[in-house]
Structure 1
Amino acid sequence: MSTKPQPNHDREAKLVELHEHLVASVETLVTGDEWKRALEFAARFCTRSFNNTLLIWWQHEAAYRQGRVPNPMPTYVAGFKQWQALGRRVIAGQRGYMIFAPLTARFATSAPMDANSWRRLDRNERPRAGEIVRPRMVGVRPAYVWDFSQTDGRPLPELPRPSLLHGEAPPGLWDGLAAIVRDESFSLSMVTDVSELRGANGVTDFRARAVIVRDDMDASARVKTLAHELAHIRMHGPESDASSHRGIGEVEAESVALMIGAAHGMDTSDYTIPYVSSWANSVQGKTPTEVIQETGERVRRTAAAILDQLPTTQGAGGDPPGLDRREHIQRMSATAVTASSERQPEQLEARSL
């Protein structure tokens, strides 16, 4: 008799439900205002993937409308056991927000430079002598997280929050961004004559490896412009796809700048984000939904990488203060976790995509 495991139909149904929720939330991002709202939200949860951020946003809004949570925006989200480790517990009756979590498997090889030499190990299989073993993602499964407002218990430590006056820039942000620009081997200069930039606030010249920013703007505008130009450096070199879709490149760069500003408490109400629908429909071979999801994840990854390099006071990225995400990821990578139903939240702990 065959012992091959049967498909988990409950899990597959949940994945289909997640996909439908994700498509519905992405399809709302058809105007600049909605795109801006999504990015401002994602900036507060930059440790999560763009897809999972949208899922959390969508489900929390629904919970707020139904009166199940007190605030329209989530504060910190974490898994069931993560909240327990912080001395808090999920309040009875509170439903978690379903997100995608990775399924990983172990792969072994004696020739790691040969991409075709890796083989997947069975659950209890040991590697051969001389082989190295690495985990790889092989799929996704549903997992659950809960907002801080859905828990009670030990208070969380207060994190410092930047407080800005209108027109000011967060302390150290200009210097931090400038250092990263120079680390990319680009020079940075300021100009007072707007005509030198043909009306633009900033310019990135890949041939000359130079960034130029207007000097006659408020400090916050200069910082935002520098973040925009750094995003071009990281994402839009001469060989990038954005070079043939300038609209996408400009939306991506401005979106990264918005996320970096929002992570530092900057008021982004005056930022100009082009309408998403105008460029999302212009990419051949992909639906607008696919373009938005891919663009959102590229923006999030770029902004998160820049934020990691900055020595500035920022938000917590959506993780509760005191949570060691790296330790949690290492523990979950080393432990096989079986997803179950929402009625068994202790089995649903996982790092998110």
Structure 2
Amino acid sequence: MYRNHTQVEDREAKLDALHARLADAVGALTTEADWRRAIEFAARFRQRSFGNSMLIFVQHSAAYEAGRVPEPTPTYVAGYGQWRLLGRQVLKGQSGYMIFAPVTKRMVAANPQAGPWRELGRGERPDPGETVRTRLVGTRPAYVWDVSQTDGDPLPVPPAPHLLEGAAPAGLWDGLATQVAEHGFAMREVPDAAGIGGANGLTDYRDATVTVRADMDDAARAKTLAHELAHVMLHGPGNEEAGMHRGVAEVEAEAVALMTLASHDVDTSRYTVPYVAEWASSVSADPVQVVTSTFDRVRRTALAILDRLDTVQVGGGAPPGLAEAVRLSPAAVPDADPVVGVSL
């Protein structure tokens, strides 16, 4: 009994330390360039929540400064059991990066609309006709390691996007335009910014149109179209969440655009987004909570766009081949090695 109580206290202390570290990491985003780099990094680790991607980033940076890893930015991260599944072993002396992992329960009900729901015991199967759902009940600390902290079998080499100067990835413009149309908006082009009040792009909810200026290079036009598609998906009339604070809509739309382009390995250094700390600090809530909740809306929207695109994209942070290895040997991966972190 005493041991269980001690384990609970240790877990709570680790969670408190993780929240404090996350708050420090968000507080360190003091410039537009810092925020852009955070978005670009999260795009390459988009399978994980914003909070977990930030935690991985700051812990890897500390490991780099201490000389424990060779590169300042992580490449692929996975749990201990997942690396073993890929034929790799964590090197002796390498500390893992602590992140938040979900604690879930399996719930069943004969009538999902009316309930009641009951928890399934370990190894228990649902009765015939019962609906099973997984419910998030909390978080726990878990550990992941970068590939540079492991040794073993080589990883598969995924295809990488190849771009010319100023070019957009093949199929990106058409894929984005198709999604705009699927949301019921018509595409328009104007010769230059003068046609849309000096802007690069414009979403008109009343006329259900998206307009992009034609006198930009293809990469800039694709970025602008992704920005406008984010407005279509997130900021239409009646969307209370978008209207809660001035500037949130533009921050979200630009962040979605940057994540979409960064996921195609397009250099977004020419583009900036408004620094969020200014408006986040003026909201009557925890600024860390504001930033992480907003970023997770961005992440979900970007993922929804990327999943519908038939384009070559950079990896999402998980080692190449892991999804197939898990599919073939699901029992080999312990619960303590989450592939995807929960939104914080």
- Aligned partner of 1:254 in structure 2 is 254
- Aligned partner of 2:36 in structure 1 is 36
Deviations 1:68-100 (A, max 9, x none): 000000000011111111111111111111111
Q: Determine if contact 1:31/1:276 at 8 Å carries over to the other structure.
A: no
Q: Matched residues in 1 for 2:48 and 2:328: separation?
A: 13
5+ residue gaps in structure 1? 338-347
Deviations 1:258-303 (A, max 9, x none): 11111111111110211222221232x3122221111111111111
- Aligned partner of 2:116 in structure 1 is 117
- Aligned partner of 1:217 in structure 2 is 216
Aligned residues: 338
- Aligned partner of 2:337 in structure 1 is 349
- Aligned partner of 1:207 in structure 2 is 206
SS in 2 for 1:213: strand
Q: Matched residues in 1 for 2:298 and 2:324: separation?
A: 21
Corresponding letter in the other structure for 1:202: G
Shift of 1:244: 4.5
Shift of 1:48: 0.6
SS in 2 for 1:56: helix
Shift of 1:164: 2.1
Corresponding position: 1:299 with 2:276: no
Q: Matched residues in 2 for 1:160 and 1:235: separation?
A: 31
SS in 2 for 1:227: helix
| TM-score, normalization by structure 2 | 0.92
Corresponding letter in the other structure for 2:179: I
| TM-score, normalization by structure 1 | 0.89
Structure 2 vs 1, CA of residues 296 and 329 (structure 1 numbering), >3 Å: closer, same or farther? Answer: farther
- Aligned partner of 1:132 in structure 2 is 131
Shift of 1:31: 2.1
Corresponding letter in the other structure for 1:266: V
Aligned positions of 1:309-328 closer than 5 A = 309-324=308-323, 327=326
Deviations 1:125-175 (A, max 9, x none): 554564322221111111111101001111112122223232111111101
Shift of 1:330: 10
Shift of 1:113: 1.4
Q: Matched residues in 2 for 1:23 and 1:330: separation?
A: 37
Q: Determine if contact 1:236/1:242 at 8 Å carries over to the other structure.
A: yes
Corresponding position: 1:97 with 2:97: yes
Q: Matched residues in 1 for 2:245 and 2:33: separation?
A: 21
Aligned positions of 1:162-241 closer than 5 A = 162-240=161-239, 241=241
- Aligned partner of 1:340 in structure 2 is none
Q: Determine if contact 2:82/2:322 at 8 Å carries over to the other structure.
A: yes
- Aligned partner of 1:344 in structure 2 is none
Corresponding position: 1:108 with 2:96: no
Q: Determine if contact 2:106/2:119 at 8 Å carries over to the other structure.
A: yes
Q: Matched residues in 2 for 1:129 and 1:319: separation?
A: 36
SS in 2 for 1:199: coil
Corresponding position: 1:273 with 2:273: yes
Shift of 1:34: 1.1
Between stretches 54-63 and 129-138, larger displacement belongs to 129-138
Q: Matched residues in 1 for 2:255 and 2:222: separation?
A: 14
- Aligned partner of 1:289 in structure 2 is 288
Q: Matched residues in 2 for 1:154 and 1:335: separation?
A: 18
Shift of 1:224: 0.4
Shift of 1:120: 2.6
Aligned positions of 1:49-128 closer than 5 A = 49-114=49-114, 117-123=116-122, 127=126
Shift of 1:304: 1.4
Shift of 1:44: 0.4
Structure 2 vs 1, CA of residues 39 and 216 (structure 1 numbering), >3 Å: closer, same or farther? Answer: same
Question: How well do the aligned residues superpose, as a CA RMSD in angstroms?
Answer: 2.3
Corresponding position: 1:141 with 2:169: no
- Aligned partner of 2:157 in structure 1 is 158
Q: Determine if contact 2:81/2:334 at 8 Å carries over to the other structure.
A: no
Corresponding position: 1:16 with 2:4: no
- Aligned partner of 2:243 in structure 1 is 243
SS in 2 for 1:58: helix
Structure 2 vs 1, CA of residues 330 and 211 (structure 1 numbering), >3 Å: closer, same or farther? Answer: farther
5+ residue gaps in structure 2? none
- Aligned partner of 1:46 in structure 2 is 46
Between stretches 134-143 and 242-251, larger displacement belongs to 242-251
Q: Matched residues in 2 for 1:165 and 1:190: separation?
A: 23
SS in 2 for 1:8: helix
Deviations 1:305-348 (A, max 9, x none): 1111110010110111111179469947x9984xxxxxxxxxx3
